[in-house]
Structure 1
Amino acid sequence: MSLPSTAREFAMDVTRYTRTAILLHWLIAAGIIVNVTLAWVWPHLADNGVRPAIDTHKSIGITILGLALLRLLWRLTHRPPPLPTGYARWETGVSHATHWSLYLVMFAMPLSGWIMDSAWKDAATHPMYLFGFFEWPRLGFVRHLDAALCDRLHDGFGAAHIWCSYLLYGLFALHVAGAAKHQILDGEPELRRMGIGH
């Protein structure tokens, strides 16, 4: 005996993330894609285009940090839909590990970039404006350190920022591959969980 159409729709709706979670997911994803693109592009820009690209990268990074905080708070106060029952135990484990690792990277990348920027030797003479609207503060506890330590922090957190980007590439590939596997090979409505399709 099949379920009535309204019951089927309700059963499918409980597997979809909330609209807020979906919106935050796609806003953060779009921001990350644009920021990664900017980082790959600005070494090839003319000199007068490099600084605007870097400043836009910083503005998007700070925005991602704020959105990631909102998403984490939403996640902690709203239970996500359950994973499909057809997932193997190892798939569930990988899914959760990838999910929380992406959260870690969403915080680690903008924070490491913010610390690196705050320790930049020319930070005092090159204020950072959030999308050109208002000055975004550097981290005061970093700016007041001596110059030699600032240089070491700049280099160290710059390296951490780069390593976080490599981790992001790997997690992104794993995330997309897992979603594609469940959507295409297993026939699960994986994309529908994040608001794509009916």
Structure 2
Amino acid sequence: MCRFIETIQVRDGELQNLTHHNRRMNETRRAVFGVSEQLDIREYTGNCPVDGIHKCRVIYDKEICEVAFSLYAMRPVHSLRLVYSDTVDYHYKSTDRKELEALHSLRGNQDDVLIVRNSLLTDTSIANVALEKEGVWYTPTTPLLKGTKRAWLLEQGVLTECNIPADEIYSYSHITLFNAMIDFGSLVLDINRDTVIHI
């Protein structure tokens, strides 16, 4: 049976953005398994670690199967390579990451990949992205995964959705990577031909 995952930031003992994590988990359970009962992750986590930033990893199918905590350290990313796949599918956050891992293996000397599907930018192998132009941050309309941090940032008006063709990437000045664990603006790259490799 396929299993799915929510990765939640725990900051000083508090689960962050839990509303969006619960929503995505329950929408996935309904779509994949036909389960309408709503679960609340908070009821399964017990006492969260209280000092610093931790990762809470929740594995589920119809029910929540496993909850684990680990200390978090952000993996540095200084460069990206554009890779192409019109068939990659990760619209549910599954524990099966074989397609993403295969694309990540194409990164060459770069730290991660920026995945292009149907000529449009989507995500890196681990994060949603936003690109800056003239002070406005734009995020791809059709990411591989609609992340929980992305949903919150859109609600707050921080991001604007738009289609970003891969061949227009150099018209933007910066790219930021973000997900549940990587705060928006904490991992930002200048966009140039040394940091973002377009082949």
| Shared fold, TM over 0.5 | no
Q: What's the TM-score once normalised by structure 2's chain length?
A: 0.22
Relative to its length, the structure with more strand (as a share) is: 2
Q: Which has the larger radius of gyration?
A: 1
Q: Considering Cα pairs closer than 8 Å and 6+ residues apart, tell me whether 1 or 2 has the greater RCO.
A: 1
Relative to its length, the structure with more helix (as a share) is: 1
